Amino acid sequence: MNTGKEGETGMDLVERYLKAVAAQLPKETREDIVAELRDDIMGRIEDLEARLGRAPSDDEVEALLRDVGHPLTVAARYRSGPQALIGPELYPWWLFGVKVGLAVMVCVTLVGLAVRVLVGDVYLGQAIGQGFASLFSGAVSIIGILTVAGFILERQEKKPDFIAKWRVKDLGLFELGGNIDADDWSRKLAGDWAGAKAKPGPAVRKGAEMSPVARAVASAIGWTVLLLWWTGLLPVMSIRPEELAGVVDGVDYGLILRQMVEAAYWPVTLFAVCRIGFDLVRAASGGNARLTALGDLAFGAAAAWGVLWIWFWSPLSPVIWVGTVTDFLDRVRGLFDRADGEVGGVAAILMVVVVWAFLAELARMVRAAGRLAVGR
């Protein structure tokens, strides 16, 4: 049998194939595996020769070797360890992480867009175009980061407890997708609201309730995305203070934002790093109720202090600070009646947001104290 190259026979094809396989194998097992594979191939050639009643041609030998498999594929069968970038057991968690990461990224992008439009840095049409480009590049980065994390986890001998030792009560979050009916939404988009199946609010909330472990994992992913965005490592729509120079109602919010970012950069970075570490610890612990409550108290206090800093001492304080409840209510009313032009709408909105954020942190601390007391 000739292959078209002078002096090369069908056996030469087999040997070249075996050498290609051997090059992909560990040295300590190479000879044994190649010997086993050679016996298998020669047996197949003998069977083929018996069926044909003649020696197989070179093309027939090559077709037989293709049936055996590509050398890379065949060698992989003999290697230990994972045979996939992310295996089927870890893939649902990877997909869950991607969804959470992308959701946080969309929120971050919208905030960046709103600020840049608000201070007049870009027009709305520009912002939308930049937002789409930013979402695409950011999504690629998030998927890449989570894929690297999944690749590393897949190759660990011991999987994290939230994967290997899951409990039925931890599965509530993953029922959330079942409450999102694509057919219903397609009918709604087509205008058929009557034909769409309505689900009662309590039923949706019950199905979407997160388990403690799922909340910890989702929080860790979300804070990681925020940290990457804050430090400029995630290429999404960023708020770059040095590029903002918009003046609204006589206030240079670009300058204020630049000063605030400079002052808060490292405290916010440290807060995010600690939050990520805490979420990973409570996920590994199975979502311990008292540990979670203690962390919520600590982080709630830190966040509340940060809001107080914004109110009393930050560069934004002179713009939003009011001394009495009456002044606060007057500013809120000014949002709806600005005929006198004395009260800036942006300043009033920011004032309400800061007060609301402080009250939300206080409420979270009270709930955390209650959970710490009862242990659930």
Would you state the structure tokens that stand for residue 99, as one six-digit string?
């969804």
- Nearest-5° Cα angle at 246, 333 to 222: 80
Question: Which percentage of the chain shows pLDDT scores above 70?
Answer: 71
Number of domains in the chain: 3
182 found inside a domain = no
Is pLDDT above 50 for 187? no
Quick one: 62 and 100 in the same domain? no
Quick one: 209 and 106 in the same domain? yes
Helix (H, G, I), strand (E, B) or coil at 193: coil
283 found inside a domain = yes
Is pLDDT above 80 for 237? no
Residue-number span of the structural domain to which 16 is assigned? 10-77
Quick one: 149 and 249 in the same domain? yes
> Residue 259 burial by CB count (10 A; 0-12/13-18/19+): exposed, middle or buried?
middle
* H/E stretch holding 251: strand 251-252
The pLDDT, as a whole number, for residue 297 is 92
> Are residues 65 and 42 in contact, defined by beta-carbon separation less than 8 angstroms?
no
The pLDDT, as a whole number, for residue 354 is 93
The pLDDT, as a whole number, for residue 366 is 92
Residue 248's φ and ψ, nearest 5 degrees, are -125, 130
Quick one: 153 and 283 in the same domain? yes
**Residue closest to 63 by CA, chosen among 14, 21, 97:** 14
Q: Which of 50, 77, 104 is the last residue of a domain?
A: 77
Would you state the structure tokens that stand for residue 207, as one six-digit string?
């199905």
pLDDT band at 92 (very low <50, low <70, confident <90, very high): confident
Quick one: 259 and 131 in the same domain? yes
Quick one: 246 and 146 in the same domain? yes
User: 371 or 119, which is more confident?
Assistant: 371
Q: What is the mean pLDDT of residues 197-226?
A: 65
The pLDDT, as a whole number, for residue 149 is 83
Q: What is the mean pLDDT of residues 329-352?
A: 72
Q: What is the mean pLDDT of residues 241-254?
A: 64
Quick one: 275 and 324 in the same domain? no
Is pLDDT above 70 for 221? yes
What tens digit of pLDDT does each residue of 66-86 get? 999 888 888 888 877 667 778
pTM of the model as a whole: 0.60
Is pLDDT above 70 for 262? yes
Quick one: 135 and 250 in the same domain? yes
375 found inside a domain = yes
171 found inside a domain = no
Residue 344's φ and ψ, nearest 5 degrees, are -75, 130
> Are residues 195 and 187 in contact, defined by beta-carbon separation less than 8 angstroms?
yes
Q: What is the mean pLDDT of residues 32-61?
A: 90
What tens digit of pLDDT does each residue of 275-303 get? 999 988 887 777 678 888 899 899 999 99
Would you state the structure tokens that stand for residue 165, as one six-digit string?
């030792």
Quick one: 231 and 370 in the same domain? no
Quick one: 147 and 261 in the same domain? yes
Quick one: 52 and 90 in the same domain? no
The pLDDT, as a whole number, for residue 163 is 64
The pLDDT, as a whole number, for residue 365 is 92
Average pLDDT over the chain, rounded to an integer: 76
Is pLDDT above 60 for 127? yes
146 found inside a domain = yes
Distance (Å, whole) CA 34 – CA 16: 12
188 found inside a domain = no
pLDDT band at 124 (very low <50, low <70, confident <90, very high): low
Quick one: 122 and 251 in the same domain? yes
